[in-house]
Amino acid sequence: MLLRIIRPCSDQRVYYFAFGANLSPDILRLRRIGVYETFDYVLENAVLNFSQRGFYKHHGFASADASVGDRVYGKMYLIRQSDAKRMDYFEGVPFLKAHSKIVQQVQGKPFYFYRSQTPLNDLKPTQQYLNYLTNAYRNMDIVPSQYIEALLATKVLKALEPQDQTGVFVRHLSRWPKALHPLLKHYEKHCHQLVEALWNRSLLGWMIRI
């Protein structure tokens, strides 16, 4: 925050395409992301999947996965370059390597969006997370009613059970001796719990904002 006051660099801006929780103004306010311009946008040759592994067992966040002929509906935001860098941390880019940043063009200018680096099947969003999307889509004229209805039929995560799979903090489990697998799974579970706890308590968010 202090850096923004001393050197705001408000003239350095970039377009960011949002299609998940960042469709919610509440989330943008929580993350202190300033928006200078916004308009509805359709991302071609991509499909909305809940394929980004979340904090819990079978938990998934949204990803705009590559898919020829499909579409993802969302909002284009014009934001500061500094906010875009902070957004990377909220999306788990620098350390967790959760997402790739995909760059395309809109109105002759570059924009970016996030795509899961390791998309998984059979993951489910929480009801609260799904509401962020459906509430936003109901107020967007470009989104077909059938698209919203399909989202409303999405199965949601009913129980927040601890993560029992490796892949984020412990990668390539098969390369480790089998005797260590239970310990490594236990380690991965506690790492997810720690990150989730920091996120919800806003400690990590406070660090990112600084």
Full domain range(s) for residue 100: 2-161
Average pLDDT over residues 65-82: 97
Sheet holding 13-18, edge to edge: 35-53, 60-80, 13-18, 109-116, 99-106
Residues 33 and 135 in one domain: yes
Residues 117 and 195 in one domain: no
Residues 181 and 119 in one domain: no
The pLDDT tens digits for 135-144 are 999 999 999 9
The pLDDT tens digits for 13-40 are 999 999 999 999 999 998 889 999 999 9
Residues 125 and 80 in one domain: yes
Grade residue 162 by pLDDT with cuts at 50, 70 and 90: confident
**pLDDT confidence of residue 191:** 62
DSSP state of 177: -
Q: Is the pLDDT of residue 154 over 70?
A: yes
pTM (two decimals): 0.77
Residues 101 and 205 in one domain: no
Residues 123 and 177 in one domain: no
Q: Are 116 and 98 in contact (CB under 8 A)?
A: yes
Residues 110 and 207 in one domain: no
H-only helix segments in 32-115: 81-90
Cβ neighbours of residue 168 under 8 Å, at least 6 residues apart? Answer: 53, 96, 98, 188, 191, 192
N-terminal to C-terminal alpha carbon distance within the chain: 5
